[in-house]
A and B are shown apart, each in its own frame.
Chain A
Amino acid sequence: MSEDREPTVIVKTVTRTVVPLIALTAIALLIRGHNLPGGGFIAGVLTTTAFALLYVIYGLDTVRRDLVTNAGGVGLLSGPTQSYTRAFAGGLALAFGSGVAAMLFDVPFLTQAVVFVDGIPLYGELEFASALAFDLGVYFVVVGSLLTIIAVVGKE
């Protein structure tokens, strides 16, 4: 947004509160996707929405300055484009790699498996699906790609 139309304090405050909630929801959707509505794609788009909201309200530069420079520049937020490209490249590698991993067990490419583990505190029995790794890849590809596009087009 251009400088002369500064967003109101209300919008800024709401955004500040809402964005972590959206992010949390997204992660919940990602993890529970195997058994309940959700999944990597939806979670990815939702996460992107959270970031896009930040960009719209605070502007690209503020986000980078406050969240990246002051916070030490770690993680996904370390600046538009470069870390985003890393995210989608890594996601693609993860999804592909999870498929290749199946081949190591002498089953066809992208075969998924499920493991039930007993004796986890609080949960008792817990199900681990290898599909989660694949879904995580989908998630990172979606987040990385969409944010790359937003950042690049936004900078224009």
Chain B
Amino acid sequence: MQPDAAVLVAALALPFVAVPFVPALFRVVGQRVAFFAAAVAAGSFGLLATQYGAHGAVQLPWIPSLGVSLTLYVDGLALLIGFLASGVGVLVFTYSYGYMAHEHGHVKYYATLLAFMGSMLGVAFAADLLALFVFWELTSVTSFLLIGHHQREDASQYAARKSMLITVAGGLFMLAGFLVLAFASGDTAAGRTFVLIGTENSLIANGEAVREALRAAGLFVPALALVAVGAITKSAQAPFHVWLPNAMEAPTPVSAFLHSATMVKAGVYLVGRFRPLFAPELPSVPEWTLLLATLGLVSMTITAILAVGATDIKELLAYSTASHLGLIIAGYGLAGPAAVELGAETGAFHIFNHAVFKATLFLVAGIIAHEAHTRKLEELGGLAGDLPIVAGITGIAALGMAGVPPFNGFWSKELLFETTYFVAVEHGGLYWLYPAIAVFGSVFTFLYSIRFLMLFFGDRPSGLADDIHRPPLAMLAPPALLAAIALATGIVPQLGIDAVVQSAFEASLPVAAEAHSLTLSIPKLFSFTPYLGMSLLTVGLGAVAYPFYGRLHAGVRWARAVDYTSPNWYYDGLTEGANGVSRRLAVGLHGGAFRTYVAPLLLGTAVLALAGYAAAGSISVDGVGAVPPVPLIVVLGVAVVGAGAVARAPSHIAGVLTLSVLGFMVAIVFILANAPDLALTQLVIETLVLVLFLLVLDRLPAYYGEIRSRARGIADAALASLVGFTVFATVLVATSASPEEPIFQYFLARAGVPAEHGPFFSDFGGGSNVVNVILVDFRAFDTLGEIAVVAMAALSVLTLVGMRAQTETEMAERPESDSADDPAATPATDGGRGPASASADDPAPSDGTDGSGGVDR
């Protein structure tokens, strides 16, 4: 079945279209706007559901003149992510109604969450790499806003910045990888394309040729690594997992939605999507496996160990999320003859299972935090008496997370064990480390899962509040529904597989591969296999180790405190180090002294211009040796005398007056050169500047032209001479240039009134002043731009002066008023003044309209 373009676009656009309605609706219905958002999510879910079973690409023309089109692609994997984003979205919006009841910033919260959902759907369905990148970064931006929901708190700011820096930086690596891929595809017969999948010329359809082109250029591994960096930063894999625990500053529904079920899945989705491109059917183990399977398994183990060291329930879940994402990446990463199919099954099935049980657990964590008013593990325990239903829900989800048969997580983890086992059997040697690491990491997964479950059992700590209420229905129904799905998938795994997992894993197989159908059922548990043994070993080791959980916890915390092995230490060192550098740089570059701005600017311009002329090679210069007419010599002589007088002027008034001598002489040069328009402009500007100087003269400081030291004087003189020489050379070179077909002939021919004409025409200028016709007709667009700049300069002056007055008032009020008032206002004012004043001080761009006014400045 071909996907329906209109339905697909509607599903993607619906969340974005709904965003502007959130503020208005909030005014009318208040917090019940949550249900509006849930309805939007349900609408997207419903629209996508009509595409269930569809497979193929739709292309929508975007910029037809450039051949750019938006390509959307539907297959099992895209639908899996799309269903997760919209389906979990419905539940999270409903849950938020209860959770956010006593919070603030609802409009921002729901609007951003909707925009996030739309972006995530975009990631899932975009087949065009550039569109994918845009949606990808949009999820990072919305995640930034949601993590920083409590925007006044330092911890939130830190967490939001950290996640933004890491995920966006990773996204840029990914973009570089995309560009490498697109350029490599240019060397194939199909031609350059950004379309990843779905069309005849797409990268995956021509995978063989693209891989050959990449290898020929030596770019296969770099391209793979660049794309992988994007995936592992987004999916919080070691050593970039550090942003995820901090991201728990976000409200819990956000954590459940973005940081477990969907956004972090974007990375693993990317891995699954690129698998057919980078991991073809080869007799040997591809680089793909060496890189991603190793990284996934190591990351899974490290973050599982860190989860054991967690003290906060959300921190535990965050590390656990990173760990399970590692499992998925390892699954997709395992390729080669033995694992190409099993690995994809592992990845796809665990995406589904993990989203279900982890979103449940996050929602449970939200209930606990909401009702017990603490998230500290040691302050919680024995909650089953207060929250029996929640305890049941948690049992299903936590046992699934632990991988205990026959709960849902068991099935996909079992597939991982099976895959690693077969890879090890096939290749032997060091490959036996894969199953070993998988079991080792899973033991820790078992440990923290049971620890989470034990929040509901055992002794009640004495500090725990007595009045723990049952959560409202809006908060209870979503996790209950998810737990029911988890339970059903656990008991009859075939349900989940048939629904979406089968088609999702087929998307990650090499193009030519024939997929067999995956069948899993409870009876499989009764026939012993080595990998079932691995599962049992995991559970057994976990059960033996659990009594020592306290010691393990302490040990992990001790190990975490070591600076040099902690990515956080490097992150903080880097960002704080950058602070110092930028402060020094700001002082150096933006010190306020006019010299520091002007000298590098002039020097740079002069050197670059001269270097450009030198690089261009021999430029013939016309008219060298010609003697100018006497009037010109006289006028230029007066100008030179005036220039000398400017340099020697003892006061401002003398300086301004002698400078205007120079300007008027230039105007006379224009008259002598038969350029009355230029001369007029020059004269008028000169007069205006003179009058303006008179206006402000008595406000200027009295000192004038003081040379501080001999060395500085020499340096200034040298710079001034260099600039003078550059201008001289530029005039020579520019006036010598004679293009083959000078455009002035066209202007002259077209500017006037044609000999034969009717009462109305628009193909001729109709004016005898060519300069003016050029300005208002031939080059009217330029003029429009220039007057816009003039207007902008005036606006900047208005704004800056207005802001200064405002800042001064604020400064005066500051002592009395609370400083928490609005901390953002002042830095913004200061920051705004620097760059903008540079353009506002100098209305020079306007002079450029006639190309004459600025000559003598």
Taking Cβ atoms with an 8 Å cutoff, the residues of A that contact B are 1-2, 5, 29, 33-42, 45-46, 48-49, 52-53, 55-56, 81, 84-85, 88-89, 91-92, 95-96, 99, 107, 109-118, 127, 129, 131, 134-135, 137-138, 141-142, 144-146, 148-150, 152-154, 156
Contacts and interface: CB of A to CB of B under 8 A. Distances in A.
A125 B642 CA distance: 49
A63 B159 CA distance: 57
B708 interface: no
Given A39-B771, A114-B762, A131-B776, 17 more contacts: A5-B698, A34-B768, A37-B769, A39-B677, A39-B775, A39-B776, A40-B776, A52-B692, A95-B787, A109-B781, A115-B759, A138-B775, A144-B794, A145-B791, A146-B794, A149-B793, A156-B699
A142 B769 contact: no
Nearest to A92: B791
A112 B780 contact: yes
A92 B788 contact: yes
A35 B776 contact: no
A88 to B, nearest CB: 5
Interface string B677-703: 100110011011001101110110000
Q: Which of B688, B760, B772, B846 has the most CB of A within 10 A?
A: B772
A126 B800 CA distance: 46
B688 A45 contact: yes
Contacts of A29: 680
Nearest to A125: B759
Contact of B797 (A46, A118, A148): A148
Interface of B: 676-677, 680-681, 684-685, 687-688, 691-692, 694-696, 698-699, 753, 757, 759-762, 764-769, 771-773, 775-777, 780-781, 783-784, 787-788, 790-791, 793-795, 797-798, 801, 843, 846, 849-850
A85 B768 CA distance: 33
B777 A131 contact: yes
Contact of B843 (A85, A116, A145, A154): A145
B748 to A, nearest CB: 15
A38 B769 contact: yes
Contacts of A42: 677, 680-681, 684, 850
Contacts of B762: 107, 111-114
A64 B120 CA distance: 59
A6 to B, nearest CB: 13
Q: Which of B767, B775, B791, B794 has the most CB of A within 10 A?
A: B794
Given A85-B794, A114-B764, A46 B691 contact: no
Q: What does DSSP make chain A's interface, helix, strand, loop or mixed? A: helix
Contact of B777 (A2, A40, A88, A112): A112
B764 A45 contact: no
A40 B798 CA distance: 23
B681 A41 contact: yes
B807 to A, nearest CB: 14
Contacts of B695: 1, 52, 55-56, 150, 154
Nearest to B793: A145
B759 A117 contact: yes
B772 A39 contact: yes
B755 to A, nearest CB: 14
A88 B790 contact: yes
A45 B684 contact: yes
Contacts of B793: 145, 149
24 contacts: A38-B677, A38-B772, A41-B850, A45-B685, A49-B687, A49-B688, A49-B691, A81-B798, A85-B798, A91-B791, A111-B762, A112-B765, A112-B776, A116-B757, A118-B759, A129-B767, A131-B765, A135-B776, A138-B787, A142-B787, A145-B794, A146-B688, A148-B798, A150-B692
B691 A52 contact: yes
Closest 9 CB pairs of A and B: A114-B766, A145-B794, A113-B762, A34-B767, A37-B676, A131-B776, A141-B787, A148-B794, A110-B780
Given A116-B757, A142-B790, A152-B797, A96 B784 contact: yes
Nearest to A88: B791
B240 to A, nearest CB: 49
B681 A36 contact: no
Nearest to B752: A35
Q: What does DSSP make chain B's interface, helix, strand, loop or mixed? A: helix
Contacts of A110: 780-781, 784
Nearest to B697: A1
Nearest to B796: A149
Contacts, number: 172
Nearest to B784: A95
A85 B796 CA distance: 12
A35 B765 CA distance: 10
A60 to B, nearest CB: 10
Nearest to A112: B777
A41 to B, nearest CB: 5
B784 A114 contact: no
B769 A34 contact: yes
Nearest to A140: B787
Contacts of B771: 37, 39
Q: Which of B676, B766, B787, B791 has the most CB of A within 10 A?
A: B787
Contacts of A85: 794-795, 798
Contacts of A146: 688, 790, 794, 843
A44 to B, nearest CB: 9
Nearest to A105: B762
A144 B680 CA distance: 20
A19 to B, nearest CB: 12
A141 B694 contact: no
A152 B798 contact: yes
A148 B221 CA distance: 60
A52 B846 CA distance: 18
A89 B780 CA distance: 18
Contact of B759 (A99, A111, A116, A153): A116
A129 B766 contact: yes
B120 to A, nearest CB: 39
B688 A134 contact: no
A153 B787 CA distance: 20
A116 B771 CA distance: 21
B791 A141 contact: yes
A86 to B, nearest CB: 12
Contacts of B759: 115-118
B776 A134 contact: yes
Contacts of B787: 91-92, 95, 137-138, 141-142
A144 B780 contact: no
Contacts of B766: 34, 114, 127, 129, 131
Contact of A35 (B687, B761, B767): B767
A139 B91 CA distance: 61
Contacts of A134: 776, 780, 783
Nearest to B775: A39
Contacts of A33: 769, 772
Contacts of B684: 42, 45-46, 49
A45 B687 CA distance: 9
B673 to A, nearest CB: 13
Contacts of B843: 145-146, 149
A89 B791 contact: yes
Contacts of B681: 41-42, 45
B761 A114 contact: yes
A142 B695 CA distance: 19
Contacts of A38: 677, 680, 769, 772
A127 B768 CA distance: 12
B688 A48 contact: yes
A146 B688 CA distance: 10
B678 to A, nearest CB: 9
A41 B849 contact: yes
A106 to B, nearest CB: 11
Contacts of B780: 99, 110, 112, 131, 134
A108 to B, nearest CB: 10
A149 B688 contact: no
A142 B118 CA distance: 46
Nearest to B804: A156
Nearest to A37: B676
